[in-house]
Amino acid sequence: MELFDLTGKVTVVTGGNRGIGLGMARGVAKAGASVAVWGRSRNYNAAAIKDLHDLGAQAVGMACDVTSEEQVEAATQATLHRFGRIDSIFANAGIGRGAQFPDLSLREWNIAMKVNAGGTMLPVRAATQVMIEQGDGGSIVVTSSVAANFGVPRLPHYAASKAAQLGLVKTLAVALAPHRIRVNAVSPGWIATEMTGPEQQRDDFNQYIRHRVPMARWGTIEEFEGIAAYLASDASSFTTGAEIRIDGGFSVQG
Ligand code: NAP
| Percent above pLDDT 70 for the chain | 100
In this prediction, residue 1 carries a pLDDT of 64
- At 111-150, the pLDDT tens digits run 999 999 999 999 999 999 999 999 999 999 999 999 999 9
| pLDDT tens, residue by residue, 142-187 | 999 999 999 988 999 999 999 999 999 999 999 999 999 999 999 9
pLDDT on residue 152: 87
**Ligand 1 center–CA 178 separation, angstroms:** 31
Rounded Cα gap, residues 32 and 28, in angstroms: 6
Count the helices and strands in the chain (H runs, E runs): 9, 7
DSSP 48-97: HHHHHHHTT--EEEEE--TT-HHHHHHHHHHHHHHHS---EEEE------
> Given the CA of residue 190, which atom of ligand 1 is nearest to it?
40
The string of DSSP codes covering 111-169 is HHIIIIIIHHHHHHHHHHHHHHHHTS-EEEEEE--GGGTS--TT-HHHHHHHHHHHHHH
**Does 191 contact ligand 1 (Cβ within 6 A)?**
yes
Chain centroid to Cα 58, Å, comes to 20
94 lines ligand 1 (CB under 6 A): yes
- Report the pLDDT averaged over residues 27-40: 98
**Percent of the chain at pLDDT exceeding 90:** 98
User: Which entry of 30, 34, 139, 162 is annotated as an active-site residue?
Assistant: 162
pLDDT of residue 254: 86
Alpha-carbon torsion (253, 164, 161, 157), positive or negative: negative
The pLDDT assigned to 227 comes to 98
Taking all residues of the chain, what is their mean pLDDT, rounded to a whole number? 98
pLDDT band at 193; cut points 50, 70, 90: very high
pLDDT, position 239: 98
Whole-number Å distance, alpha carbon 147 to ligand 1 midpoint, is 15
State the Cα–Cα distance between residues 41 and 194, nearest whole angstrom. Answer: 14
